[in-house]
Amino acid sequence: MPEGPSSDAGDSIWRKLKSTIFGEEASLRDQLEGVIERHEDDPAPDAAGDLTPLERQMVKNLLHFGERDAGEIGVPRADVIAVEENTSFADLVKQFADAGHSRLPVYRGSLDEVIGMVHVKDVFAIMASGTPPPETIGILVRQPLYVPMAMGALDLLAEMRSKRVHLAVVLDEYSGTEGLVTIEDLIEEITGDIEDEHDDAPEALLVPLDGGAWDADARVELEDVAETVDPRLGEHDEDVDTLGGLAAVLAGHVPAKGECLTTPSGWTLEILQSDSRRVERLRLHPPKPVPEGVDA
């Protein structure tokens, strides 16, 4: 006698029927996020053992952690502080003091050929022992991880943990250096920024000025500019995310200090600080009022 349909098959049919009638079932991720969003404005847990606002935000960050990849996390190439392989020991010590980092990548020729990294504790060990410093820093170089931009954040975290390496060099599609990722960068994707006593106090990315103008860090997201300053500044056709990126698109090059660029919305971007690779600070000047009787 043939066996009847299994319970698994029955469940599958029921799921298909529900999705046909009521639409696709929400994933567990979507369900969890929906519950968190419904309690977004709760000032404190409703009952003992419930999630605090900070815990809710961390859970929400964790739900999206797996969607991030190495190219979206960490220090972009323009902000990487590195040392050349022929750097003297004395200069290396100065670089560590200036940078305030525990690890510095070491490159050969250009940043596209990162050959390793130096850990500050190896430098301290030489200084504390009183032994003569090495002629070159080659004996101090350790191997980091080299990972593609598309590597997922979860895979990267697992790789760094298993190999006990806390710094990864992110490579672009041409095997050039795209940026760096540390364990701390990955953890901050879940917990938010972790500041310590050695970190500089964060500067405001948008500062209002008299007359409706704004001083801005070029790294500020256009979404934040649109929300804080003018919604029209968030409307653009190009694939840019930051104010500095918008300035470069409008100019067609990396604009120099003193250049003024007019956006389609009428706002003017004055470049306050830049170098050959990127814009660092800008000033936003509001659109000039249209005289009465003149069509806008």
For the chain, the domains span 70-191, 206-285
Write down the pLDDT at residue 15.
Answer: 57
Write down the pLDDT at residue 201.
Answer: 47
Q: Which CATH number, 3.40.47.10, 3.40.50.300, 3.30.465.10, 3.20.20.10, labels domain 206-285?
A: 3.30.465.10
Q: Residue 236 is encoded by which pair of tokens?
A: 């653009």
Evaluate whether 287 touches 265 at the Cβ level (below 8 Å).
yes
Those residues of the chain that have pLDDT short of 50 are 1-2, 18, 21-22, 48-49, 197-198, 201-202
pLDDT digits (tens, 9 = 90+) for 159-205: 999 999 999 999 988 889 999 999 888 988 888 766 554 455 446 78
Write down the pLDDT at residue 1.
Answer: 46
Write down the pLDDT at residue 189.
Answer: 85
Evaluate whether 233 touches 225 at the Cβ level (below 8 Å).
yes
d(CA 267, CA 243): 12
Q: How many degrees, rounded to 5, is the angle at CA 162 between CA 158 and CA 167? A: 75
Write down the pLDDT at residue 141.
Answer: 94
Evaluate whether 59 touches 36 at the Cβ level (below 8 Å).
yes
Write down the pLDDT at residue 20.
Answer: 52
- In the beta sheet, which residues pair with residue 273? 281
| Residue 102 Cα to chain centre, angstroms | 19
Nearest to 290 by CA among 264, 266, 257: 266
pLDDT digits (tens, 9 = 90+) for 273-291: 988 778 989 999 999 876 5
Q: Residue 169 is encoded by which pair of tokens?
A: 């060099």
Return the DSSP state at 3: P
Phi, then psi, of 2 in degrees rounded to 5: -65, 140
1, containing H or E segment:
none
Write down the pLDDT at residue 48.
Answer: 47
Q: Looking at the whole model, is its pTM more than 0.85? A: no
Write down the pLDDT at residue 50.
Answer: 66
Which CATH architecture is the domain 70-191 placed in?
A: Roll (3.10)
Q: For 84, how many CA atoms within 13 A lie in the half-sphere containing its CB? A: 6
d(CA 108, CA 243): 32
Write down the pLDDT at residue 7.
Answer: 52
| Strands lying side by side in the sheet with 206-208 | 206-208, 214-217, 279-285, 268-274, 260-262
Is-same-fold flag (70-191; 206-285)?
Answer: no
Maximum Cα interatomic distance, the chain, rounded to a whole number of Å: 91
Q: Where are the alpha helices (DSSP H) in the chain?
A: 7-22, 28-38, 53-65, 89-99, 120-129, 153-163, 183-191, 222-228, 243-251
In this structure, which amino acid lies at residue 295?
Answer: D
Evaluate whether 269 touches 242 at the Cβ level (below 8 Å).
no
Q: Residue 40 is encoded by which pair of tokens?
A: 């977004």
